[in-house]
A and B are shown apart, each in its own frame.
Chain A
Amino acid sequence: MSINLEKFKAVYGKWVEENLQDFQAGKIEDAVKKYPFVVSEDVPWVPFKGQPSEKTIALVTSGGLYLKDSQPAFEAESIHGDPSFREIPRTVHPEDLGIAHPHFDHSLAEQDVNTIFPIQRLVELEKEGIVGRVADTHYSFSYVNDVARLLTESVPKVIDRLQSERVDILFLVPV
């Protein structure tokens, strides 16, 4: 994926300056309408070979999930969002997950976290042999406006960990 971060940083700084007041006043939609979305210059591509039944799969959600008893919640006030991530084990019980993401209605995910993080369905598919292995660790992000920090700090760490665990398939579920 090719993204011009220097170009983004310049327009993002201006966006923060011009929209901080609206953001802090809760006028999020107005600020988002003016947000300088980064546009990838190309499409990353790796041909898929083999069968899912031979592969390891992991999930990434942007639902702001974290382990209530052992991990800090995501930052929920800053205009920059929170570029950090939380590792969620495959063995997690839904009741152990909190949601720290101020910009979506949590009520549906609170009823059934599989709507944004379908870990229970994946484990079922592993038992049936449809996917080879569900990774031990999965990843959650929250809302992030500061894409430069996301791409330079968090994403390389997550990619390293996915590669260490020999993950073949990454399923991205936004909110």
Chain B
Amino acid sequence: MGNMADRMGHIKPPRALLVKFPRGSMLGEPGNAKRQRRIIMDALEALATMTEPGTIRELPYRWKKPDSE
């Protein structure tokens, strides 16, 4: 995962999640265990759903904005 699409484009990870969170807090706000869990679940899902090498999926989550159910 990462928050800088251009850097991820250089590194070319096999499967990647792109977040819009600040440097130093890739899984969202401190203490937001629900969001951390959701991002890990997104990563696990990507293992099965990303079939094209180099796919980067942008996640919709925003800082301090609750995730939709």
Interface positions of A (Cβ within 8 A of B):
1, 37-40, 42-48, 52, 63, 104-109, 111-112, 114-116, 118, 120-122, 124-125, 130-131, 169, 171-175
> Which 5 A-B pairs rank lowest in CB-CB distance, beginning with the nearest?
A112-B30, A111-B30, A108-B25, A43-B53, A45-B53
Return the chain B residue nearest A40 by Cβ.
B12
Residues of B within 8 A of A116 (CB): 24-27
Task: Find out whether the CB atom of B33 lies under 8 angstroms from the CB atom of A114.
Answer: yes
Task: Find out whether the CB atom of A118 lies under 8 angstroms from the CB atom of B36.
Answer: yes
Give chain B interface residues in 49-67, CB to chain A under 8 Å: 51, 53-54
A121 to B34: give the CA distance in the assembly, Å.
9
Task: Find out whether the CB atom of A104 lies under 8 angstroms from the CB atom of B31.
Answer: no
Task: Find out whether the CB atom of A1 lies under 8 angstroms from the CB atom of B12.
Answer: yes
Q: Is the interface of A mostly helix, strand, loop or mixed?
A: loop
Task: Find out whether the CB atom of A115 lies under 8 angstroms from the CB atom of B1.
Answer: no
Task: Find out whether the CB atom of B30 lies under 8 angstroms from the CB atom of A118.
Answer: no
In the assembled complex, the CB of A2 is this many whole angstroms from the nearest CB of chain B, namely 10
Interface positions of B (Cβ within 8 A of A):
1-3, 7, 10-14, 22-31, 33, 36-37, 39-41, 43-44, 47-48, 51, 53-54
Task: Find out whether the CB atom of B14 lies under 8 angstroms from the CB atom of A46.
Answer: yes
Residues of A within 8 A of B54 (CB): 43
Task: Find out whether the CB atom of A118 lies under 8 angstroms from the CB atom of B25.
Answer: no
Of B14, B23, B24, the residue contacting A44 (CB under 8 A) is B14
Asked, given contacts A1-B12, A112-B31, whether A104 binds B44 with beta carbons under 8 Å apart, the answer is: no
In the assembled complex, the CB of B34 is this many whole angstroms from the nearest CB of chain A, namely 10
In the assembled complex, the CB of A129 is this many whole angstroms from the nearest CB of chain B, namely 12
Of A42, A47, A125, the residue contacting B37 (CB under 8 A) is A125
Task: Find out whether the CB atom of B53 lies under 8 angstroms from the CB atom of A121.
Answer: no
In the assembled complex, the CB of A110 is this many whole angstroms from the nearest CB of chain B, namely 8
